[in-house]
Structure 1
Amino acid sequence: MMALKFSEEDFQEAWRELDHPAIQEPWQLFTESMGFQIYRLQDQESGLYQYKVYGGLSDCLPELFADVYMDLEYRKKWDQYVNALREVESEEDPVIYWEVKYPFPLANRDYVYVRERQDLDVDGRKIFVILAKSVSVNHCPEKSGIIRVTAYKQSLAIESDGSSGCKVFMYYFDNPGGMLPSWLINWTAKSGVPSFLTDMEKACKGYNQSTVKTPSN
């Protein structure tokens, strides 16, 4: 088995954002969309932005949200931007291959990444944390006509809002490569991620609890 993909501090850092958002300068409020506040910070190396998203979903319990998020087969049914999504076995831990549909005439992007979920008990609070990052493995070579995203990182922390919903924190960064139009980058940042989270809420309502779930690592 490969070494732990993420450190305990990585998980701690993610859930702390629910209590104490780390959005001091140079982080800047970028937009508010669909009940979420989105902050951004320019990545000096790439010139692209890292994003932090804070908000909540009123009708999705946190454990269900985490289960739906981890279920690759189910995501292919409700996420319209998935062109391929599967777990790939390897001599070490499995990795996930994900191809994302881009609007014509842009090339699709694909990702090879690892992820890990921890269900934490923090002073009686149940907090679900899922971390993901891109990796390079020999058995998932790049494909002609598809741009491989090699810089991808995401953190997600979810807990109950005290009622029938959940509070959500998400950090994400990726470098999609190629020449993307500014309208697409802006749409993804301002609307794409909030739309994904609200689609997740709808997906939670239709989730069959008897569905066979993927391993949570």
Structure 2
Amino acid sequence: MSLHFTDGEFLDALKELDEPNLEGGWEFFTETMGVKIYRLFDKETGLYEYKIFGVLTACNPEQCADVYMDLAYRKQWDGYVKELHEKDYGGQIAIYWEVKYPFPLSNRDYVYVRERKDVDVDDRKIYVVLAKSSPQSLLPQKSGVQRVNDYKQSVAMASDGACGTKVFMNYFDNPGGNIPSWLVNWAAKSGVPGFITDMQKACSNYSNYCQKNKK
């Protein structure tokens, strides 16, 4: 049973895997490594929300979902992770994630909740992961680290009909303060292909990682 998200939220994410909803001002932003990125300007924050559609060719969807959920493994393959763990914060189970940023930018950190559902639709398995910030968790902010209290992400994954994974992602991140436009563009144009490359490599190595870390 979902604790933080409704069935409708999971349904919305998996529907976009095959029928992208780009109405209401979404614009094409860029395409890289076979992945298309669209963005929507948020007038209230002055930031963009992103939708990403594409295929990861080097991993099947179940493995891709397992890698995406494995926090311990991510600390090994994601070079931007400074700290990442799940624990009880003041009575709520949440994930703490600190992300490295290059000087002179401050690192960012997140406290968020997430859930995964594996859904059977028309004889096809779709893996959906939803996440959102949880600012009510009682975790003091670190000095010199920018806390992100407005964060959401949805991911849907299914077979591409061959050996890869068809992926949809919806992402919004508001760290507050004044954010230079070059940083926003860099994160979308450079960060996405870098993440795809790292994710595919992580999928390829996941079986070996699981074998080595069997209890």
Q: Give the structure-1-normalised TM-score.
A: 0.92
- After superposition, the CA RMSD in angstroms is 1.8
1:128-180 deviation digits (Å, cap 9, x = unpaired): 00000001234311111111000000000000011110100000001122333
Quote the sequence identity (%). Answer: 60
Match of 2:18 in 1: 19
Larger strand percent:
2
Match of 1:63 in 2: 62
| C-alpha deviation, 1:115, in angstroms | 0.2
- Give distance in 1, aligned partners of 2:212 and 2:129: 20
Aligned length: 212
Match of 1:162 in 2: 161
Q: What does 1:43-192 align with in structure 2 at a 5 Å threshold? A: 43-90=42-89, 92-192=91-191
- Give distance in 2, aligned partners of 1:7 and 1:211: 37
* Cα pair distance change 1:186/1:84, threshold 3 Å: same
- Give distance in 2, aligned partners of 1:13 and 1:90: 29
Match of 2:210 in 1: 209
Structure 1 unaligned residues grouped into runs of 5+:
none
- Give distance in 1, aligned partners of 2:90 and 2:123: 38
Q: What does 1:190-205 align with in structure 2 at a 5 Å threshold? A: 190-205=189-204
| C-alpha deviation, 1:105, in angstroms | 1.2
1:188-216 deviation digits (Å, cap 9, x = unpaired): 11221232123111101111234769xxx
- Give distance in 1, aligned partners of 2:8 and 2:108: 30
- 4+ residue runs of structure 1 moved beyond 6 angstroms? none
- Give distance in 2, aligned partners of 1:10 and 1:197: 25
- Give distance in 1, aligned partners of 2:212 and 2:93: 21
Q: Give the structure-2-normalised TM-score.
A: 0.93
- Give distance in 2, aligned partners of 1:90 and 1:80: 25
- Give distance in 2, aligned partners of 1:100 and 1:109: 5
Aligned amino acid, residue 3 of structure 2: L
Match of 2:41 in 1: 42
Q: Secondary structure at the match of 1:206?
A: helix
| C-alpha deviation, 1:93, in angstroms | 4.3
1:79-132 deviation digits (Å, cap 9, x = unpaired): 111100011224644100000111101111100000000000012110000000
